[in-house]
Chain A
């Protein structure tokens, strides 16, 4: 398969810490003391030779990819190319599928996620799904869920408000926190799910086609949200929408039939792709 060594250079590093858009809430989002030390490499995920099998079927054929911290990385490709599978490997959600098997190595800040306690891994690496999946509980309880299961009891309402603000949902729901989450619109539900994931303060946020069920206005809101989360969170987003990848991401990986074809800075991938298959895809010749 085509050579796909991920491109990482000085430009990447520079992009990592854009101080722009630091909102008023930002100061309180500061990482705990040890975080900068970990982030000094600016390399969050290092994936090497990742193969995933469902039963005897190999759906990822050895992916090598490095994901930097504090940027948005987009995964694109035609449906069935394995982009969701790849994303779900990062927090080991694949394990919920029976007969799923994983080979290779995924390092999160230098530690192999396969050796980690899965519960703790998922607390560090949050996830937002394709369709909004709020729990059948109140808005407040949804956001507080992650905190409660982790045994946190104090300052619950502060934490909930903070997370809802980060997800740009606070103003819309502050007067109805105890209403059922199902009373919200689809877009609000999806932002609620983002707030729910943010409440446990994850280092990484994985989004699996988060806008596929949403209207354009809401989609724009969520893209704006990703931009604002960048300083505090590493974001990996799977999308089938190339415009979205082009608008919202700093790096883009193109997958095809379980292989990583190209990984570039987003503007470069969309303007001067180095692989003809990438070009074919982004110009709409297949997929």
Chain B
């Protein structure tokens, strides 16, 4: 029954060997140094993988970069047969779909976030936020399916004709609507990024200290005035962060856009016309790219996409952290 009869816990002399070597040996025997080193190797592995990713993109696009230089970004001929590769149509398609999506999604998303953070009863707000978070987890290919079978017919038969007959004098809405096209892609992107905007904006709005609201209300401001003049400005950098986050997601979105944008490498003024995006052209043509230059041009597009999302994500994170620290909350 005696514990002390146990040799493992007996009172043998406990001194560790002295000196530097002894110290090191002791820690080595303790295993802490090994554990530290081991976990460090895995953490370094994460860095290695990321660096390798950048390196591969850089190296494997060398041929294209040297052949076309900056002209790659300003020419609009994409002709694999004659090895002419200009990325402008894809850049344009990516930017225009993202911009249109943001124009629709930002007011809706921020409005909904304000409602959820300021007006809705906390329980209902939490419930809705839960559901909205779930929507952010829906795979993009499913949004693509819905885009093809719901949004495309809607644009072809209802929205497109309506826009053309009403605003047809604008080049933006001129021409027949095929259903597949820039506007459709933008609408699908809108649906995809709204959950992001709501979720992050709601959080930064809720991080605004209560005393800020109370101060405004105590001065006789209406609910709306306190919200728009005090709360929203306080959270504005964080909201901007959520928009950048959504932008990065929209720019890099592949499947849903590929499935509905029409895949036509031409720049047209009309939103109803088909277009093409960077991610979509990589998805469609990568496996059939014959010839090194063709493949490398596609990889260069991947590199561009990587750099742009990298910058946007970095900016978004900075902004969100900045607001939450100002609100005294902890950074997400």
Q: A residues within 8 Å of B by Cβ?
A: 28-32, 34-35, 38, 111, 115-117, 119-121, 123-124, 147, 150-152, 154-155, 158-159, 161-163, 198-201, 203
Within 8 A of A (CB), among B7-49: 8-11, 14-16, 18, 26, 30
- Whether, in the assembled complex, B4 has its beta carbon less than 8 Å from a beta carbon of chain A, the answer is yes
Select which of A115, A155, A198 is within 8 A of B6 by beta carbon: A155
Give A41 to B16 CA distance when docked, in angstroms: 23
Check B14 against A121 for contact (C-beta < 8 Å).
Answer: yes
Q: Which secondary structure dominates chain A's binding surface?
A: helix
Select which of B8, B10, B14 is within 8 A of A32 by beta carbon: B10
Check A116 against B2 for contact (C-beta < 8 Å).
Answer: no
Select which of A29, A119, A151 is within 8 A of B2 by beta carbon: A29
**A residues near B210, Cβ cutoff 8 Å:** none
Give A199 to B2 CA distance when docked, in angstroms: 10
| Most chain B beta-carbon neighbours within 10 Å: one of A154, A159, A162, A198 | A159
How many whole Å from B110's CB to the nearest CB in chain A?
41
Interface pairs (5), CB distance under 8 Å: A28-B5, A29-B2, A124-B14, A159-B6, A199-B3
**B residues near A28, Cβ cutoff 8 Å:** 1-2, 4-5
Sample of 5 further A-B pairs with CB below 8 A, known A115-B16, A152-B6, A162-B1: A31-B4, A120-B16, A123-B9, A150-B8, A162-B2
| Most chain A beta-carbon neighbours within 10 Å: one of B3, B6, B18 | B3
With contacts A123-B9, A150-B9 taken as known, whether A29 is within 8 angstroms of B16 at the C-beta atoms is no
Check B16 against A116 for contact (C-beta < 8 Å).
Answer: yes
Check A117 against B9 for contact (C-beta < 8 Å).
Answer: no
Q: How large is the interface on B (under 10, 10 to 19, 20 to 34, 35 or more residues)?
A: 10 to 19
**B residues near A29, Cβ cutoff 8 Å:** 2, 4
How many whole Å from A203's CB to the nearest CB in chain B?
7
Give A120 to B14 CA distance when docked, in angstroms: 6
With contacts A116-B14, A120-B14 taken as known, whether A154 is within 8 angstroms of B2 at the C-beta atoms is no
Give A155 to B3 CA distance when docked, in angstroms: 9
Check B11 against A32 for contact (C-beta < 8 Å).
Answer: yes
Check A117 against B1 for contact (C-beta < 8 Å).
Answer: no
Check A117 against B26 for contact (C-beta < 8 Å).
Answer: yes
How many whole Å from B70's CB to the nearest CB in chain A?
49
How many whole Å from A284's CB to the nearest CB in chain B?
37
Check A163 against B14 for contact (C-beta < 8 Å).
Answer: no
The residue on B at minimum CB distance from A203 is B11
**A residues near B14, Cβ cutoff 8 Å:** 111, 116-117, 120-121, 123-124
Select which of B4, B18, B26 is within 8 A of A30 by beta carbon: B4
How many whole Å from A193's CB to the nearest CB in chain B?
17
Give A42 to B8 CA distance when docked, in angstroms: 25
How many whole Å from A150's CB to the nearest CB in chain B?
5
With contacts A161-B1, A201-B3 taken as known, whether A117 is within 8 angstroms of B30 at the C-beta atoms is yes
Select which of B3, B8, B26 is within 8 A of A163 by beta carbon: B3
The residue on B at minimum CB distance from A163 is B3
Check B4 against A201 for contact (C-beta < 8 Å).
Answer: yes
Check A200 against B11 for contact (C-beta < 8 Å).
Answer: no
Check A32 against B15 for contact (C-beta < 8 Å).
Answer: no
Select which of B1, B5, B10, B15 is within 8 A of A111 by beta carbon: B15
Give A199 to B3 CA distance when docked, in angstroms: 7
Give A127 to B9 CA distance when docked, in angstroms: 16
The residue on A at minimum CB distance from B31 is A119
The residue on A at minimum CB distance from B17 is A117
The residue on A at minimum CB distance from B6 is A152
